[in-house]
């Protein structure tokens, strides 16, 4: 008997979840064990239970003579702990007698036409009827641990969202010691028989999103964070890719974790060449007491598969995030062009200085002034006052509301920087509530930037922060908040948790951050939130649920940004990448890049400025006026279009090229950057991507006034994609050009 609903089919003991181009199959072996059968290109139907095994043939019972061999080789969908499977477990529970075995067995399933939000956590969403959800229930009959696995199919985007709930169905206390959100046992070779490789992104401050592809060795390999936030050392993303993966060719399984705290994204290659992929909250520094009847909700993982290279994976994630994760007023709106005073003034500013910047900015087409760090308490350097969210009237007489109304007269909105999760030991807040900081009583805590972390797992701390931040937003009519977070967590202890629950602190901290941001967005639905963490140290899909944009890196050097933004755009839509034009020599690298190129690179992001505009030459001011016009002309396309990576300076060492094509393939914006000049450099032939081969297009310089654009070429899409477009050689380093390609 076969039953199909909402792209989910059930036949015998097999479940199939279809998206436009992929199928995902799981099933039950001998009525007990939930196995992973298949994930790959769309298939119709057929019994493929044979794919579940590197395991003994024949019927398996729990008292089988060789049960351990079965447990150790079966392709599990959600492996437990301690029953003979020696690979990475997904679930480990400690009971009152100290034992930890858990073996979840199949119990039942349900299909629904909707996707419920996950309590307290970010998650993908869809309207009722737009997404099918398969729920599979498992239970360990010996211990009363109950597990529900949820799979929601985003058909158009080729994405499956997975998550897990664990319930204490018994009458004793349980302690969850690990609850990963997804696991998958799969063949270790691609369809051409080549061993899969691992794609990850590593980094550090000012060097986020560095791509790395390595062979997968036998044993365990992966990326993780145990610093209390996602961190810049690695994205939680895992890509299982064919060797030599390109933008168009090769297979890729991409998994992303919708979570902003500790993670573990691991791949384990087994002796039989199978690989087990597992993603979830890092089991280190995690435990959770589950009382009878209580449920634990693990964060969501989104997965996609592409047999058309990395490009399709990126576009699937971009569409998913733009349509089904990012929320609020700015989900579909152009964001105001901002100017941020950080690199312009650092801590040294006052109302007059800001207004001078604002007047000049307005004249150039900029729409919002963001007052960064230093407007509150006694904050003249980074040693003091975090937590004291009251205006420093020496710098800003009359407060931010006076600045705000003066900005309004000029015609600019006001944005404000906060770092709500932090407290300076030198602050009134700390002096009043030392127990609000995360630190172990009697031990001097490790400081970072001379600051400590507030225990936002506590409701009283969140209430204080909510009222402090919202008072400022209300009083000064703040249109935008930059929510920063500039250190990792250490010295873990919460004065509000009993000893047996201290292991819950890091997850409760993340839930607290989510709760605070949700409360703010509910109170101020028009607020534009930009998350930030020393640059991109908390750039993760969990944060995108609250803020449609995230500051990508403190490195604003356009050359570095080409690489950072290429890495970021592999996973995230351009509409979410915080990108600004800053001054040269660049404050981080000391490099000089032409003003025009800086603008072109920042246009492939949210776009804004971070410099003292009152000190620029007339020539640069004229360039800003041109850039702000370009932003308005092309931002709809950049925000909503399909992203195509055409050439990477990472590969060729000389030039970089990418484009954005509208969904109806009627227009494209192409960015070409001539990175390093060499003598006798030839003209480049760039093979465009994503156009309609049958359509005829006109290519113009994107910067020409719309009325009389100079025509560079007129050709069919097939010509531009196959024969290519000639980009004339440019003289000098870091030169760039934008082309606009429009259907005629």
Which helix (H) or strand (E) is 10 found in, with range? strand 8-11
In 187-333, DSSP assigns E strands to: 197-202, 210-215, 219-225, 238-241, 252-257, 263-269, 275-280, 288-290, 295-297, 301-306
Q: Is position 534 an interface residue for ligand GLA (rule: CB under 6 A)?
A: yes
Q: Which stretch binds ligand GLA (CB under 6 A): 176-184, 532-540, 591-599, 650-658?
A: 532-540
Q: Out of 150, 417, 539, 607, which residue is the one contacting ligand GLA (CB under 6 A)?
A: 417
- Which CA distances in Å does 238 have to 155, 254, 540, 631? 21, 6, 13, 33
Give CA–CA dist 576/540, Å, rounded: 11
Which positions from 35 through 94 interact with ligand GLA, judged by CB under 6 A? none
Least separation in angstroms between residue 656's CB and ligand GLA is 24
Strand, helix or coil for residue 702:
coil
Q: Is 530 in the site for ligand GLA (CB under 6 A)?
A: no
CB 440 → ligand GLA: shortest distance, Å?
27
**Least Å distance between CB 246 and ligand GLA?**
33
Task: Name the minimum Å distance from CB 526 to ligand GLA.
Answer: 23
Q: Cβ closer to ligand GLA: 206 or 255?
A: 206
H or E element in which residue 645 lies: strand 642-647
Instruction: Quote the least distance from Cβ 659 to ligand GLA, whole Å.
Output: 29
**CA–CA distance from 24 to each of 165, 252, 276 (Å)?**
20, 14, 16
The residue with its CB nearest to ligand GLA is 373
711 and 699 in contact (C-beta within 8 Å)? Answer: yes
Q: Is 554 in the site for ligand GLA (CB under 6 A)?
A: yes
Cα separation, 466 vs 481, whole angstroms: 13
**Strand residues in 681-732 grouped as ranges (E):** 684-686, 696-701, 711-716, 725-727
Specify the residue, 351 or 486, whose C-beta has the smaller distance to ligand GLA. Answer: 486
Q: Which is nearer to ligand GLA, 235 or 306 (CB)?
A: 235
SS3 450: coil
Q: Which residues contact 396 (CB under 8 A, 6 or more apart)?
A: 350, 351, 375, 402, 403
SS3 167: strand
- From the CB of 348, what's the least distance to ligand GLA, in Å? 13
- Using the contact rule CB under 6 A, the part of the chain among 36-44, 106-114, 529-537, 708-716 near ligand GLA is 529-537
CB of residue 235 to ligand GLA, shortest distance in Å: 17
3-state helix, strand, coil in the chain (%, to 5): 25, 30, 45
Q: Which is nearer to ligand GLA, 551 or 631 (CB)?
A: 551
Task: Kindly give, in sequence order, each residue whose CB lies less than 8 Å from that of residue 327, ignoring residues fewer than 6 positions away.
Answer: 125, 521, 545, 546, 548
| CA distances from residue 41 to 247, 275, 646 in whole angstroms, order as listed | 17, 19, 24
Q: How big is the site for ligand GLA, counted in residues (CB under 6 A)?
A: 12
When asked if residue 372 is in the footprint of ligand GLA (CB under 6 A), the reply is yes
Q: CA-to-CA distance for 550 and 578, rounded, in angstroms?
A: 5
Q: How far is the CB of 110 from ligand GLA (least distance, A)?
A: 45
Stretch touching ligand GLA by CB under 6 A, among 4-12, 420-428, 530-538, 730-738 = 530-538
- Smallest gap from Cβ 205 to ligand GLA, in A, equals 8
Measured from the CB atom, the residue of 372 and 560 that comes closer to ligand GLA is 372
Q: How far is the CB of 696 from ligand GLA (least distance, A)?
A: 45
Q: Is residue 557 at the binding interface for ligand GLA, with CB under 6 A as the rule?
A: no
Q: Is residue 535 within the footprint of ligand GLA (CB under 6 A)?
A: yes
User: 372 or 642: whose CB is closer to ligand GLA?
Assistant: 372
Task: Report the distance separating Cα 247 and Cα 644, nearest Å.
Answer: 8
388 lies in the binding site for ligand GLA (CB under 6 A): no
Cβ distance 131 to 208 under 8 Å?
no
Query: Which residues contact residue 268 at a Cβ distance below 8 angstroms, ignoring those fewer than 6 apart?
Result: 87, 88, 219, 220, 221, 275, 276, 278
Cβ proximity to ligand GLA, 77 vs 373, nearer residue? 373
When the beta carbons of 81 and 418 are compared against ligand GLA, the nearer one is 418
376 lies in the binding site for ligand GLA (CB under 6 A)? no
CA distance 480 to 417: 9
Positions marked catalytic: 484, 554
The token pair that represents 1 in the structure block: 């008997």
CB of 268: closest distance to ligand GLA in angstroms?
Answer: 35
Q: Following DSSP, what letter does each residue of 122-158 receive, concatenated?
A: ------TTSSEEEEEEEEETTTTEEEEEEEEEETTTT
Nearest-approach distance from CB 420 to ligand GLA, in angstroms: 13
Q: Judged by CB under 6 A, which of 321, 342, 546, 559 binds ligand GLA? A: 342
Question: Considering only 22-30, 501-509, 531-539, 734-742, which stretch makes contact with ligand GLA by CB under 6 A?
Answer: 531-539
Q: Is residue 532 part of the contact set for ligand GLA (CB under 6 A)?
A: yes
Which residues ranging from 478 to 507 are in contact with ligand GLA (CB under 6 A)?
484, 486
CB closer to ligand GLA out of 139 and 584: 584
Q: Which two tokens stand for residue 30?
A: 């001998």
- Nearer to ligand GLA by Cβ, of 382 and 428: the residue is 382
Q: For residues 15 and 109, is the Cβ–Cβ distance under 8 A? A: yes
CA distances from 127 to 116, 124, 131 (A): 10, 11, 7
605 binds ligand GLA (CB under 6 A): no
Only segment of 58-66, 161-169, 408-416, 528-536 that touches ligand GLA (CB under 6 A): 528-536
Block residue for tokens 């930037």: 449
Which residues, other chains included, contact 482 with Cβ-Cβ below 8 Å and sequence gap of 6+? 340, 370, 372, 415, 416, 417, 418, 530, 532, 551
Among 373, 388, 560, 612, binds ligand GLA (CB under 6 A): 373
Q: Which is nearer to ligand GLA, 404 or 486 (CB)?
A: 486
Place of tokens 């199928």: 23
Are 253 and 307 in contact by the 8 Å Cβ rule? The answer is no
Q: How many CB atoms lie within 10 A of CB 202?
A: 16
Quick note: the x/- pattern for ligand GLA over 298-337, rule CB under 6 A, is ----------------------------------------
Angle between helices 399-410 and 351-363 (to 10 degrees): 20
Q: At a CB cut-off of 8 Å and minimum separation 6, what does 457 contact? A: 494, 496, 497, 504, 505, 508, 509, 511, 512
With respect to ligand GLA, which residue has the nearer C-beta, 16 or 487?
A: 487
- Establish if 375 lies at the interface with ligand GLA (CB under 6 A): no
Site residues for ligand GLA per CB under 6 A = 342, 372-373, 382, 417, 484, 486, 532, 534-535, 551, 554
């Amino acid at each position: 008997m076969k039953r199909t609903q909402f792209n989910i089919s059930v036949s015998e003991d097999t479940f199939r979840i279809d998206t436009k181009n992929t199928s995902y199959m799981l099933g039950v072996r001998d009525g007990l064990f939930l196995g992973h059968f298949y994930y790959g290109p769309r298939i119709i139907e057929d019994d493929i239970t044979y794919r579940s095994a590197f395991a003994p043939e024949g019927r398996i019972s729990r008292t089988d003579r060789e049960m351990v061999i079965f447990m150790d080789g079966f392709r599990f969908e959600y492996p437990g702990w301690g029953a003979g499977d020696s690979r990475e477990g997904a679930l480990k529970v400690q009971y009152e007698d100290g034992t930890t075995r858990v073996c979840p067995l199949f119990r039942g399933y349900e299909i629904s036409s909707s996707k419920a939000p996950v309590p307290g956590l970010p998650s993908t969403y869809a309207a009722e009827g737009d997404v099918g959800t398969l729920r599979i229930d498992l239970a360990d009959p010996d211990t009363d641990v109950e597990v529900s696995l949820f799979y929601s199919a985003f058909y158009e985007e080729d994405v499956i969202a997975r998550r897990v709930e664990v319930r204490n169905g018994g009458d004793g206390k349980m302690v969850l010691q690990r609850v990963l959100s997804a696991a998958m046992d799969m063949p270790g070779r691609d369809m051409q028989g080549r061993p899969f490789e691992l794609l990850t992104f590593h980094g550090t401050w000012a060097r986020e999103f560095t791509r790395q592809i390595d062979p997968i060795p036998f044993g365990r390999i992966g990326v993780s964070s145990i610093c209390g936030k996602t961190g810049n050392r690695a994205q939680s993303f895992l890509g299982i890719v064919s060797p030599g993966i390109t933008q168009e060719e090769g297979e890729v399984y991409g998994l992303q974790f919708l979570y902003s705290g500790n993670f573990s994204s691991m791949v384990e290659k087994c002796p039989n060449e199978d690989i087990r992929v597992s993603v979830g909250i890092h089991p280190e520094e995690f435990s959770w007491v589950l009382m009878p009847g209580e449920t634990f909700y693990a964060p969501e993982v989104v997965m996609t598969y592409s047999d058309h290279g990395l490009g399709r994976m990126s576009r699937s994630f971009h569409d998913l995030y733009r349509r089904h994760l990012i929320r609020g007023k700015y989900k579909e709106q152009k964001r105001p062009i901002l100017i941020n005073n950080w690199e312009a003034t650092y801590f040294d500013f006052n109302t007059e200085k800001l207004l001078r910047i604002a007047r000049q900015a307005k004249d150039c087409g900029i729409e919002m002034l963001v007052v960064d760090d230093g407007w509150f308490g006694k904050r003249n350097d980074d040693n003091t006052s975090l937590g004291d969210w009251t205006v420093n009237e020496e710098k800003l007489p009359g407060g931010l509301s006076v600045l705000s109304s003066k900005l309004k007269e000029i015609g600019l909105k006001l944005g404000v920087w906060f770092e709500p999760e932090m407290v300076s030991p030198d602050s009134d807040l700390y002096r009043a509530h030392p127990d609000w900081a995360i630190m172990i009583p009697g031990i001097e805590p490790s400081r970072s930037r001379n600051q400590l972390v507030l225990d936002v797992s506590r409701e009283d701390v969140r209430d204080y922060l909510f009222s402090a931040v919202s008072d400022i937003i209300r009083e000064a009519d703040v249109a935008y908040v930059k929510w920063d977070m500039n250190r990792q967590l250490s010295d873990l202890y919460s004065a509000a948790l009993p000893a047996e629950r201290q292991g819950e602190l890091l997850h409760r901290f993340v839930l607290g951050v989510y709760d605070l941001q949700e409360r703010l967005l509910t109170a101020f639905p028009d607020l534009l939130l930009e998350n930030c963490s020393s640059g991109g140290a908390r750039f993760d899909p969990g944060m995108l649920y609250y803020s449609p944009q995230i500051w990508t890196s403190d490195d604003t050097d356009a050359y570095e940004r080409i690489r950072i933004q290429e890495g970021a755009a592999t996973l995230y839509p351009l509409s979410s990448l915080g990108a600004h034009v800053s001054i040269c020599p660049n404050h981080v690298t000391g490099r000089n890049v032409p003003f025009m190129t800086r603008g072109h690179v920042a246009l492939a992001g949210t776009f804004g400025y971070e410099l003292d505009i009152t000190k620029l030459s007339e020539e640069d001011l004229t360039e800003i006026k041109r850039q702000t016009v370009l932003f308005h002309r092309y931002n709809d396309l950049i925000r909503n279009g399909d992203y195509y990576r055409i050439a990477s300076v990472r590969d060729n060492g000389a030039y970089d090229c990418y484009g954005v094509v509208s969904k109806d393939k009627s227009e494209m914006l192409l960015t070409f950057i001539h990175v390093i000049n060499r003598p006798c450099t030839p003209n480049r032939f760039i093979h465009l991507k994503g156009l309609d081969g049958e359509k005829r297009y006109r290519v113009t310089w994107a910067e020409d006034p719309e009325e009389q654009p100079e025509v560079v070429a007129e050709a069919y899409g097939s010509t531009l994609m196959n024969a290519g477009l000639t980009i004339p050689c440019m003289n000098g380093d870091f030169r760039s050009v934008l082309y606009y390609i429009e259907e005629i």
